[in-house]
Amino acid sequence: MVRVAPSILSADFSCLLEEVKRMERSGADWLHLDIMDGHFVPNITMGPLVVGALKGRVDLFFDVHLMVMNPQLFLTDFYRAGAGMLTVHAEACTHLHRVVQEIKKLGCKAGVALNPATPLNCLDYILEELDLVLIMSVNPGFGGQEFIPGVLPKINALAEEKAKRGLSLEIEVDGGINENTAVQVLNAGADILVAGSALFGAPDPSKLINAFKMFPVRRKRV
């Protein structure tokens, strides 16, 4: 079953809780929280305080995407704030294996994100440890960017590797997802769609969320 994770980066922050509730009412499964530090990406967003303020106010699973250098410094804070999944960037971790173990030791699900130019094989020796791989389909930092079709073969290769190794990890795709690009990433093997501008800008997000979930997908899911 395809799951949809609205990214609050495109929400109206002056009424954030109401925006998040609107997504929950519209049928969202997860809430995607984009954390940016102004170093790993050229933008700054929010810290654990904002994540914690939303926690308990909605039933959505909190999918925390850490676009920060040295994410190991912040794992406990985001976990305590309510993260159900902590996803770090492979490019931001010198000791990726250790960081993943630290996330799991907290009792949290562990994900690793890859920028569009980062090859999949950097995860060859850690794939078994992961609950999720996030394939970035834009360069991280901002919402509302155009989807990069060059990442489709990477999604496809990951789905094949997942099937070959019999893994249960989930494949999440983030960036430029709309009605046209969603079908492409789903056919390539995505399980979870992150969408910011398309969902928060939609007059009726429930229609788009339904459309995402109802696309006839050609790839057989494993």
Catalytic residues: 34, 174
Among 3, 65, 89, 154, interactor with Zn ion by CB under 5 A: 65
Unique residue bearing structure tokens 């990442």: 151
Determine if 174 is a binding residue for ligand DX5 (CB under 6 A). yes
CA distances from 193 to 12, 49, 65, 92, 175 (A): 20, 25, 13, 23, 9
| Distance from C-alpha of 92 to C-alpha of 114, rounded to nearest angstrom | 10
Selection from Zn ion, ligand DX5, none that 144 binds (CB < 5 to 8 A by kind) is: ligand DX5
For ligand DX5, which is the closer residue by CB, 101 or 197?
Answer: 197
* Cβ neighbours of 165 (radius 10 Å): 10
Residue 132 phi/psi, 5-degree rounding, is -155, 145
DSSP per-residue letters across 140-201: TT-SSPPP-GGGHHHHHHHHHHHHHHT---EEEEESS-SHHHHHHHHHHT-SEEEESHHHHT
Determine if 34 is a binding residue for Zn ion (CB under 5 A). yes
| Distance from C-alpha of 175 to C-alpha of 193, rounded to nearest angstrom | 9
Determine if 195 is a binding residue for ligand DX5 (CB under 6 A). yes
Among 65, 89, 154, 162, interactor with ligand DX5 by CB under 6 A: 65
| Beta strands 170-174; 132-136: pairing state | parallel
Determine if 138 is a binding residue for ligand DX5 (CB under 6 A). yes
Determine if 174 is a binding residue for Zn ion (CB under 5 A). yes
| Beta strands 132-136; 109-114: pairing state | parallel
Minimum distance, C-beta of residue 221 to Zn ion, in the bound complex (Å):
22
Of the listed pieces 72-80, 96-104, 172-180, 212-220, which binds ligand DX5 according to CB under 6 A?
172-180
Minimum distance, C-beta of residue 108 to ligand DX5, in the bound complex (Å):
19
Q: Write the interaction track for ligand DX5 spanning residues 24-43; mark x where CB under 6 A is met and - where it is not.
A: --------x-x---------
Residue 67 phi/psi, 5-degree rounding, is -100, 65
Interface with ligand DX5 by CB under 6 A: which residues? 7, 9-10, 32, 34, 65, 138, 140-141, 143-145, 174-177, 194-198
Interface with Zn ion by CB under 5 A: which residues? 34, 65, 174
